[in-house]
Amino acid sequence: MSSAEKIFNAALARLSQASEGYRNSELNRASYIAGGIIGAGHMSEQGAVDVLLKQALAIGLLEKEAKSSIESGLRRGQLKPFALSPDDRRAAIKPNANLLKKPKWQAMLPAPPDAPDYHLVRHYSLGTPHEFFEYLDENGLIHFVVARWNSEDGKEIRPLSFGLNERRWTFKRPQRLIPLNMPEIISNPQCKILICEGETAAIAAHNMCEQMVATCGHGGAQQAHVTDWSVLEGRECLILPDDDAASIETWAPAMQKILFNVGATVTLLDGHRFWELAGEDAHE
């Protein structure tokens, strides 16, 4: 095996080992190396393209994206036939440990319009969710989704986000949480905001108080602070806790403090009385 073949094969091996966030750049690099070898007359262009494309598809890159990276890399490489610096040769042969590390997971915000239907997602242990609640951003695009499973023992809640590097729906929180019904909050600047602990309560409250915009954050009674409530600056807000101790004693006081800090006007409602009138299951 010639030295050119060894370098190209090493670049292919490095490509096959690269973690998801680095695969496209590694494909471009392998193509650049192939371009230099082709320019020196040691390899046919079609043969290199076939090998590179096959490897790219095998590691999950999209064909159109892969062909673009291959073409770009080959073109640059052929400008300097086999003109690889010693550093380039060593880098092609020796894997870069940093490139093998899995990048930190992040959500794509908002989810792309062509994202697969999240209704088809199944949780590995909980199965198919019974309900979904979309959290839309200020432009009406999906920021993330909350999935809910109902059972005789109660409920299970999981956030569902579309991955930036792993382009699929994953049961993980996005890096930033926003309130439910963000478009309605923004488009109705004079409306009072009715803040509930969870999605079901917000929907029930909206049906009873249609002149207000009902909202909530994701996370439950202990995590009011994880949502970015800054959109409520200057708004008149009414806090409506669930009819239980955790909501009344923990969530409601935390929300009061948060809303004061963002510059909202705050009124605390009697959750017990409200839900008694609505029906005890309305906020479950």
List pLDDT tens digits, range 91-132.
Answer: 554 554 554 456 678 899 999 999 999 999 999 999 999 999
Compute the distance between CA of residue 67 and CA of residue 59 in angstroms, rounded to an integer: 14
Span 64-88, average pLDDT: 76
The pLDDT, as a whole number, for residue 247 is: 93
Q: Which residue has the higher pLDDT, 178 or 273?
A: 178
Over residues 1-9, mean pLDDT: 71
Which residue among 120, 154, 176 closes a domain?
A: 176
pLDDT of residue 84: 53
Residue 260 is predicted with a pLDDT of: 95
pLDDT of residue 281 exceeding 60, the answer is no
State the average pLDDT over residues 187-194: 96
Q: What are phi and psi of 232, to 5 degrees?
A: -90, 10
Predicted pLDDT of residue 99? 46
Residue-level pLDDT at 76:
84
Q: Is the domain of 125 the same as that of 145?
A: yes
Could you tell me the pLDDT band of residue 74, with boundaries at 50, 70 and 90? Answer: confident
Q: Give the total number of structural domains in the chain.
A: 3
User: Are the C-beta atoms of residues 255 and 205 closer than 8 Å to each other?
Assistant: no
Residues 70 and 89 in one domain: yes
Tell me: do 204 and 271 sit in the same domain. yes
The dihedral through the CA atoms of 197, 201, 203, 207 has a sign that is negative
**Same domain as 27, residue 96:** yes
Same domain, 33 and 54: yes
Tell whether the model's pLDDT for residue 51 goes beyond 70: yes
- Does 216 have pLDDT greater than 90? yes
Q: Which domain range does residue 40 map to? A: 3-100
The model's pTM: 0.65
Question: In b/e form, how buried is each residue of 204-234, taking b as 16+ CB within 10 angstroms?
Answer: bbbeeeeebbbbbbbbebeebeebebebbee
At which of 126, 156, 176 does a domain end?
A: 176
Last residue of a domain, one of 176, 197, 227: 176
282 has pLDDT over 70: no
Same domain, 146 and 191: no
Percentage of the chain with pLDDT > 90?
Answer: 50
Mean pLDDT of 233-237: 97
Do 83 and 41 fall into the same domain? yes
pLDDT tens sequence across 165-176? 788 999 999 999
In a shared domain, residues 168 and 144: yes
Interatomic CA distance for residues 50 and 58, integer angstroms: 12
Average pLDDT over residues 203-227: 92
Output the average pLDDT for the chain: 86
